[in-house]
Structure 1
Amino acid sequence: MRGAIAVVMLALCAACGTAPVAVVPGSGTPVPACHPYQGFEVIAEKAESHIVVFGEAIHGTNESPAALFGLACHLAKEGAPVLVGLEAERTFSDELDAFLDHGDAVRLYGTTSGMWDVHDGRSSQAILLLLQNLAELRAAGLEVSVFAFDASSELDYREQADWGTVSRDARMAETVDAAAARFSGAVLLLTGGFHARKQVFDFDGTSFVPMATGIQARPVFSLEMRHAGGSGWMIGEVDGKPFMGALDLMNGLPPDAPVHAFALGAEEPAYDGNTAYWDGVYYTGPITASPPAFPSRPPS
């Protein structure tokens, strides 16, 4: 059975690089190493009372999901229940969490194809690997769960002057509140940086009321992603032309910036005065693009 699943996974990802390792709950597969970032102790302590939000500078990197998993893994191994929230349509929550039990990637795609067919970086190999690693933790008897909190498909942006940003983030916050209210452990979210900000702001003539400002179930501890350049997978426009692929990004950090480390507020070396938006940062070092986990519809 394990070999059959591995063959299927290789077929699914033949066009997108190295295939993720299939998860077989109960097979005795070793629990993955945690590798939490330096300074994780302070963030782990905050997770006891706060919702910890990882705000991505760009979707579609290997590094952000890995940073979140490092913390989630540490917390789970220390005995804390952990709930991970992903920026995917909230209607997929049950199916995503069920994957942590069955580990079947083909079945996952079949029940959540609407998530994986949008190749904007949120449906990357790294996100699938994050889910697989969480499944390994659950198979080892650790209490980990996952849910989705986006609601973009429920809105008609054409009829709203703000293109749905306010309504979308409000629904995201409501979904997070509902999930956190019925969960007694640590809640960790992975989302775009705009949603993770803790203050209202304007961008390109549009006022944003971020998700993080609307969460009420617990205080929010929000972390901004700081990277040393590299690439991230995206879909959008570049120089006025449609673009989908690995986008090269410049390094805006000083040479002595930390790598794989958390830092808080004004104590962090690249502090730029935006503590109103963030409580701290997570330094990934150089980033690498993570392409779609399912670049084309898999065989049935």
Structure 2
Amino acid sequence: MYAVEQIKEYLKPEGWVLLNNFKKEINLIAEQVDEDEIVEGVAILVRGIGGLKQYLGVLTSKRFLTTDKQKKFIGFNFNDIHKFTTNKKITSSEINFAYNTEAISINILSDDLGKRFLKELQDKLSIPSNVPTENNNTETRQIVRVMKAIKMNIEILNGKEQLNQNGSGYKLAQTKPGTVEISVDYHDAETFKLVKWERVENVQKSVSSIVGWTVIGSKFGNAGAIAGAMGANVGKDKSVATLFLKRENGEKVPLVIKCDKKDLEKLSLLIVAEEEETTQTAVTPPSTTTSIPTDELIKLKELMDAGILTQEEFDAKKKQLLGI
């Protein structure tokens, strides 16, 4: 079950003891994750005096999942969560919200997992983390939501060696126009400028574009390997796309990813950087010597020597081939 592995990846840095303690809860929650849901965060939740009782919270692209005191599954759809507030405590953050007609109160352990989880949950509910809560005296400030976050799991066919982290699970997110964040497993995401993205319709043309784009940039692989990865995955129900990314230092990072129909729909919503650049800017102009059609000229010369072509006909064909 893929969801089980996704949840475990988030918990791995906390150690095998925690993984073993939450084994049943991991399986219980993972069974309820739909195929089109993406696990996007995991946190340790606490209840009881002193927060000694721990249980599991899982955030997906659609819901907040956890268990009740009887360890039965509970799911909260984001669209049905209202009146969300937070209250920071010494070792945890208390969240309160109304779900349908029920008042819900949950404590999230304030470790690294919990902090990332809470921020992700606030983003899901369109509540920026700097918004004052009920227990703050900070003046209320106007919040402007520029765009809805776009998040998706991606399968990288070529280019993963250029990312700063190694792993098996890759996620793409866009929360600001013109940039995307790529995260590997539970590691912190790296931010790139999104120059453009292209769906692969013509494998050879796309390969030429990628190789040319990376002449001045970092290593990406030879054209044959890229073409093989693409050609093997272009089919009726699946497609391939190339993301043209840039680091802050100007390093160029193209990623070839496998797509299905839903992935392509999400890619179409991405907002590229305002100052787009074409993939041809770094292509080295072809040498004039390599473009001369030597074989054709030799055959024409042989035809003239054999008396089949006249000198005038040979000269005319020669100029035609050389473009002069």
Larger gyration radius, structure 1 or structure 2: 2
| Pairwise TM-score range, normalised by the shorter structure | under 0.3
The structure with the largest helix share of the pair is 1
Q: Relative contact order, CA 8 A, sep 6+: which one is greater?
A: 1
TM-score, normalised by the number of residues in structure 2? 0.23
TM-score, normalised by the number of residues in structure 1? 0.24
